[in-house]
Amino acid sequence: MLSACSRSQSALAPGGPQAREIGLLGWTMFTGGALIFVLVVALTAVAIVVPQERRRWLADGRIVMAGGIALPVLVLSALLGYGLFVARGQLNPGEPALRIEVVGEQWWWRVRYLDGSGGVRFVTANEIRIPIDQPIEFLLTSADVIHSFWAPSLAGKLDMIPGKVNSYTFSADKPGVYRGQCAEYCGAQHALMAFYVVAMEPEAFETWASHQTAPSEQPVTDELRSGQELFIANGCGACHTVRGTSARGEIGPDLTHVGGRLSIGAGTLPTNKGTLAGWVASTQHLKPEVFMPSFGNLEGKELRAIAAYLESLE
């Protein structure tokens, strides 16, 4: 239970105005429900403990009408009205400064940053970086089954449905790393379908975005060159793209700058040389039923070379 105290994925630790409104709505409804609960328990206790001759007033029809009908109608109507008011504000947060398309796939996230005309500026995966204090519109869909996009510290959840595009807009008002999760059961590895939203200062975001449009850096050491050659020779480019190389696959995540991401496998493991080697060798053990096969045929030296090459792609 103490894992919830990390606050990296908590609706009770809002990092933006939309999440703050949702959090306040939650606390308001919790408080209203708690007050009604306390009142009902108190009246129940009175009915049990107080002698009958001293609690005749409980049988008064006016008490029943007030406590059983009028009070619930007033409280629930007030909470409903407040909830609708908050929901209306969530739907009209302002003109977006940036549009990002997120496609849910089993079991990872394809992320496309769009330009002003709606074209794709660059593609990444499982990690979304945004500038703070700017409304960001998310266009959400799915390539296979129903998923649900949820970053609790930034906004509410929204379903991702095949053949349909749902959209909503939210922003972050302070830099930080916010964890998100698929909130709709989507198959065996649903629990390992996470993502990170990294909120950055606008200048830092523009620097990062400009770097993402560039092709991958060419290897500069023998180990990195060997890793690149092994990556291509073992057919990794049939599923993955590494811009600047012959790898042009679009089935799996774009790996052009994978070394600069916080995690691999959609939040399954942190990104480093050791986890990259383990992932390549034992994908089906670490995350069974994903489309990527395990490359158990590779020797340790080959795995280390491929992992070093991928880690260098920042």
Each domain of the chain, given as residue ranges in start order, spans: 10-91, 98-211, 222-312
CATH superfamily of 222-312: Cupredoxins -  blue copper proteins (2.60.40.420)
pLDDT tens-digit readout, 11-32: 888 888 888 888 888 888 888 8
Contact 263, 272 (CB under 8 A): no
Mean pLDDT score, 131-151: 95
**pLDDT at 91 (0 to 100):** 66
Mean pLDDT score, 168-184: 93
- pTM for the full predicted model: 0.85
Residue 131 has pLDDT above 90, yes or no: yes
pLDDT bucket at 60, cuts 50 / 70 / 90? low
**pLDDT at 93 (0 to 100):** 60
Residue 115 has pLDDT above 60, yes or no: yes
Mean pLDDT score, 271-282: 95
d(CA 307, CA 301): 10
**pLDDT at 130 (0 to 100):** 96
Contact 10, 153 (CB under 8 A): yes
Please indicate whether residue 77 or residue 124 has the higher confidence score (pLDDT): 124
DSSP code of 253? -
**pLDDT at 24 (0 to 100):** 87
Distances in Å between the Cα of 76 and the Cα atoms of 24, 70, 217 are 16, 10, 59
Residue 34 has pLDDT above 80, yes or no: yes
82's tokens: 């407040």
pLDDT bucket at 69, cuts 50 / 70 / 90? confident
**pLDDT at 49 (0 to 100):** 78
- Say what the alpha-carbon torsion angle 231, 233, 238, 243 is, to the nearest 10 degrees: 50
Closest Cα to residue 176, out of 146, 132, 227, 143?
Answer: 132
pLDDT tens-digit readout, 200-227: 999 999 999 999 999 998 999 999 999 9
Mean pLDDT score, 263-276: 95
Residue 270, helix vs strand vs coil: strand
Q: Which of 16-20, 124-128, 265-269 has the lowest mean pLDDT?
A: 16-20
- What share of the chain has pLDDT > 70, as a percent? 92
What average pLDDT does the structure give for the chain?
A: 89
Residue 175, helix vs strand vs coil: coil
Same fold across 98-211 and 222-312: yes
Residue 174, helix vs strand vs coil: coil
**pLDDT at 3 (0 to 100):** 56
Measured distance between the N- and C-terminal CA atoms of the chain, rounded to whole angstroms = 35
DSSP strand E in the chain: where?
A: 98-105, 108-114, 120-125, 127-131, 136-142, 147-150, 158-160, 166-170, 176-182, 194-200, 263-264, 269-270
**pLDDT at 45 (0 to 100):** 82
CATH superfamily of 98-211: Cupredoxins -  blue copper proteins (2.60.40.420)
pLDDT tens-digit readout, 77-106: 888 888 888 777 666 666 888 999 999 999
**pLDDT at 68 (0 to 100):** 72
207's tokens: 């620097």
**pLDDT at 37 (0 to 100):** 85
> In this structure, are strands 194-200 and 127-131 parallel, antiparallel, or unpaired?
parallel
Please indicate whether residue 285 or residue 40 has the higher confidence score (pLDDT): 285
Closest Cα to residue 313, out of 230, 211, 236, 239?
Answer: 211
